Amino acid sequence: MSDKTVFRLVWAVSIFVFAVVVLLQSKIVSWDFPIWVTSLPLVNAFINGTCSILLMTSFYFIKYKHDVKVHKMLNIVTFLLSSLFLVCYIIFHSAVPQQVYGGVGFVRPVYFFILITHIVLAALVLPLILFSFYSGLKMNVAKHRKLVRWSYPIWLYVTVTGVIVYLMMAPYYNF
């Protein structure tokens, strides 16, 4: 597969995922969902927390142990878990009515700051992650390092804030 094809594919996937997430907010699709769907925010928080740990562990193995094999394996597992997160996110948000955050006072703007930065950066990081993976798998180390300078801290921020958003929102879930 040529670099040009991969470039187009990465952007197509990124735009498609963004469009699906935006459409979820319109609640065009409505369906009766099984009760297990209401557990997906907790599942996603667990996945995000696990991804945070895996990302930091992967960084440790490449930076301090220079172990490319373990680094690659950890990143692949993290990517697969993040993909599972996305599937769970889509299922939950396509089924459950939009939930409203009920916090008041100082914590309310803090929550919305974390939520908004989390959402914006989650949308922006997907193509960076995909390009980082591609360059890493091709062993184009120089390009991979340039990309992960941005994708790693953003991806880590998104996974950590995903857990924080869940913890702040959990008391207000109404289903």
pLDDT along the chain (175 residues), means of 10: 86 87 68 88 98 98 97 96 94 88 97 96 94 94 97 98 98 91
Q: Which pTM does this prediction carry?
A: 0.89
The two tokens of residue 69 are 């094999």
User: Count of CB atoms within 10 A of residue 83's CB?
Assistant: 11
Nearest to 48 by CA among 125, 130, 151, 161: 161
**How many structural domains does the chain have?**
1
What's 125's domain CATH number?
A: 1.20.120
How far apart CA 166 and CA 175 sit, in angstroms, is: 15
Q: Can you give the residue range of the structural domain that contains 31?
A: 3-172
Contacts of 62 (CB under 8 A, 6+ apart): 68, 71
How far apart CA 57 and CA 53 sit, in angstroms, is: 6
User: So what's the pLDDT on residue 29?
Assistant: 57
User: So what's the pLDDT on residue 130?
Assistant: 95
User: So what's the pLDDT on residue 161?
Assistant: 98
